[in-house]
Amino acid sequence: MQHLIILPILLPLFTGLAMLIKRDATMQPRRTIGLVSTALLVVISIALVVESSHGQISYYALGDWQPPFGIILMLDRLSALMVCLTSVLALGSLAYACAGDDKKGSNFHGLFQLQLMGINGAFLTGDMFNLFVFFEILLIASYSLLMHGGGKDRTQAGFHYVALNLAGSAMFLIALGVLYGTTGTLNMADMGQRVAELDPERQGLLKAGAFLLLVVFGLKSAILPLYFWLPRAYASAPAPVAALFAIMTKVGIYAILRVYTLIFGDSAGDLANFVQPWLWWFALATVALGGIGVLSARDLRTQVAYLILISVGTLLVGVSMDRVASLSALLYYMLHTTLVSGGLFLLADAIADQRGKAGARIVPGRGVTQPALLGLAYFVGAITVVGLPPLSGAIGKALLLNAAQPSEQPWLWSLLLLSSLAGLVAMGRSGSTIFWKAGKPDPEGPRLKPSMLAGLILLLGASPLLAIFAGPITEFTQASATQLLDPGAYTQAILAPTSGGDS
C-alpha cells in the first residue's frame, strides 16, 4: 500500500469538495458522507500507525521528484500517531455536530473536511514550504469554522484571530526565506544536513530565522507571550469546532518538535538544540499563567480554554527537556489532553444547552435536565484533566515528572503540581456551582441526542482506555521518541539514493 501515506490528505479533500455540490440540499446526506469519510480516516490512520510501528521511515515523493528536489510526504511514528489522534478527535466532534450544530451556518461539513485535510497535511509533510501551505489551508478553514453560526462575539474574536494569524503567516514566510537563503533547500531532512555544514559566518542569520520560526509556532501553539487570542477564540467558537481546535495548538507543538529535532537537533553542530533552554522558561511561565487563568475564569468554556493553556505549557516543557523519557511522556500526555479537552468543550456546550439562560457561566442557576449523566461525564472529565489517578491524566503527568532531572525538578514539580491544584480547585468549584447549587431543572428542557452522547463518550471515554492500554501506548511513544532523537535515520531513509522510496 504505497499510496496509503497520501490518503489522509486526499480523502478529506475529495469529501470536502463533494460537499460543495448542492449546498442547499438536505443535511442528512452530507452528515452521512462526513461521518463515513471521517470513520474511514480513522481506519486509514490506524493502518498508518501499524505501518510505522515497524520503525521504518517511509516517504512519498509527489510527482516522483526524488528528494531533496521535490516535495515529499514523510511517515514516521510521530506523524502516524498525530494523524490517528486527529481522526479520532474529528470523529467525536463531528458526531456531536451532527445533532444540530451543523445547521446553524452554511457548509459546516465541507469546511470541517478541508480543515482535516490541512491538519493531516501539516503532520505528514516533509518539506518546509509545504508545511506553510498546509498551515494556510487549515487556518483559512478554521477562520470560517470559528465564525460558524455568526454572532457579535464570534466575529470580533474571529477578527483578532485572523489578524494575528495573518501576521504570523508573514513571519513564517520571512523565516522560510531566511532558512532557504542560508541553506539552499526546503526539504527538512536535507536542511538538517546542511545546517551542520554551514559556514560559521552565516550561522547568526540562520539562528535568527530559526528563532522567528519558533515565534510563529509559538503563536500557533499559544505559548506565554503569544497566547492572548486563545481563551477568547476558543470560548466563543461553536462547541464541535472548539473541540476540533484542541488539535490546533498541538499542530504548533508538533511543528516545534519536528523542526527542532530534525533540523536543529543533535546533528546540527554548533546550533544543536539551541532553542530548548529558551523554551523551558517560556513553557514553565505558560503553565503558571494557565493555572492563574483557570482560577479566574467565569465561564466554563473559558475555563477549559485555560486548561488547554496549561496542557500546552506542560507539553512544551516536555519538548524543552529533549530526552527520550520526556518526549515519550509528552506524546502520551498529548493523546490524553487533546481528546479530553475536546470532550470537555462538548460537555460544556451540553451543560450550557440544558441550563437555559445561565448558559456556561459559573453561577448558580437552573439545574441541568440530565444531572446524573452530565454529572458523571463532568466528574470523569475533571478528574482526568487535572491529572488525578486512576485515569490517563495522572499517568501522563507522572511520566513527565519522572523524566525531570534533579536540576529541573524544583521548577517543574512545583509549577506543574501547583497548576494541577489550581485546575482541581477551579473544576471542583465550577462543578459544585453548576450541579449542586442548581435550582429545579426544566423537565421539558433539551436532552442529549444519541449522536451528541456518542461524541462525548468517544472523547471522554478515551481517557480510561488510554489508562488501561497505557502499556502498549507508552511503548509506542517511547519508540517514537527514540526515532525522533535520531535525525541521522531520517537523512539516511530520505536522502540515501539506495533506499527506494514509494513514489
Site string for another protein, 210-229 (x = CB under 8 A): --------------------
- Cβ proximity to another protein: between 228 and 379 the closer is 228
- Cβ proximity to another protein: between 103 and 298 the closer is 298
Distance between CA atoms of residues 382 and 333, nearest Å:
15
| Cα separations in angstroms, 467 against 312, 471, 473 | 20, 8, 9
| Residue 262 touching another protein (CB under 8 A) | no
Distance between CA atoms of residues 63 and 51, nearest Å:
22
Helix (H) or strand (E) holding 58: strand 58-61
**Residues in region 15-44 near another protein by CB under 8 A:** none
Q: What is the DSSP string of 68-107?
A: TTS-EEEE-HHHHHHHHHHHHHHHHHHHHHTTTGGGGSS-
**Residues in region 174-213 near another protein by CB under 8 A:** 174, 176-178, 180-181, 186
Q: Out of 18, 47, 140, 495, name the contact with another protein by CB under 8 A.
A: 140
Q: Out of 2, 32, 106, 156, name the contact with another protein by CB under 8 A.
A: 156
Secondary structure class of 61 (helix, strand, coil):
strand
Secondary structure class of 299 (helix, strand, coil):
strand
- Closest contact distance (angstroms) between CB of 218 and another protein is 18
- Closest contact distance (angstroms) between CB of 231 and another protein is 13
Distance between CA atoms of residues 350 and 253, nearest Å:
29
Q: How far is CA 26 from the centre of its chain?
A: 32
Helix (H) or strand (E) holding 309: helix 300-321
Q: Is 232 exposed, middle or buried (0-12, 13-18, 19+ CB in 10 A)?
A: middle
| Residue 136 touching another protein (CB under 8 A) | yes
- Give the count of residues interacting with another protein (CB under 8 A): 33
Task: Select from 156-164, 323-331, 458-466, 483-491 the region that touches another protein (CB under 8 A).
Answer: 156-164
Q: Out of 76, 101, 127, 299, name the contact with another protein by CB under 8 A.
A: 299
Cell 537523512 identifies what position? 491
- Cβ proximity to another protein: between 42 and 133 the closer is 133
Q: Out of 55, 150, 204, 488, name the contact with another protein by CB under 8 A.
A: 150
- Cβ proximity to another protein: between 156 and 405 the closer is 156
Task: Select from 23-31, 47-55, 128-136, 401-409 the region that touches another protein (CB under 8 A).
Answer: 128-136
- Closest contact distance (angstroms) between CB of 140 and another protein is 7
- Cβ proximity to another protein: between 11 and 189 the closer is 189
| Residue 435 touching another protein (CB under 8 A) | no
Task: Select from 144-152, 190-198, 278-286, 410-418 the region that touches another protein (CB under 8 A).
Answer: 144-152
Enter the C-alpha cell of residue 211.
528563532
- Cβ proximity to another protein: between 129 and 435 the closer is 129
Distance between CA atoms of residues 84 and 483, nearest Å:
18
Distance between CA atoms of residues 306 and 388, nearest Å:
18
**Cis bond upstream, residue 277 (ω within 30):** no
Task: Select from 76-84, 170-178, 270-278, 403-411 the region that touches another protein (CB under 8 A).
Answer: 170-178
Distance between CA atoms of residues 59 and 126, nearest Å:
8
| Residue 66 touching another protein (CB under 8 A) | no
- Closest contact distance (angstroms) between CB of 186 and another protein is 8
Q: Is 407 exposed, middle or buried (0-12, 13-18, 19+ CB in 10 A)?
A: exposed
- Cβ proximity to another protein: between 72 and 459 the closer is 72
Q: Out of 155, 402, 414, 432, name the contact with another protein by CB under 8 A.
A: 155
Helix (H) or strand (E) holding 181: helix 152-183
- Cβ proximity to another protein: between 36 and 167 the closer is 167
Distance between CA atoms of residues 168 and 464, nearest Å:
37
- Cβ proximity to another protein: between 238 and 455 the closer is 238
Helix (H) or strand (E) holding 150: none
- Closest contact distance (angstroms) between CB of 71 and another protein is 11
Q: 75-90 burial by CB neighbour count: b if 16+ within 10 A, else e?
A: bbbbbbbbbbbbbbbb
| Residue 162 touching another protein (CB under 8 A) | yes
- Cβ proximity to another protein: between 188 and 473 the closer is 188
| CA-based nearest residue to 46, from 16, 81, 71, 79 | 81
- Cβ proximity to another protein: between 22 and 298 the closer is 298
**Residues in region 341-380 near another protein by CB under 8 A:** 361, 363
Task: Answer for the pair 327, 481: CB distance below 8 angstroms, yes or no.
Answer: yes
- Cβ proximity to another protein: between 86 and 236 the closer is 236
Q: Which residues bind another protein (CB under 8 A)?
A: 129, 133, 136, 140, 143, 147, 150-153, 155-156, 158-160, 162-163, 166-167, 169-170, 173-174, 176-178, 180-181, 186, 298-299, 361, 363
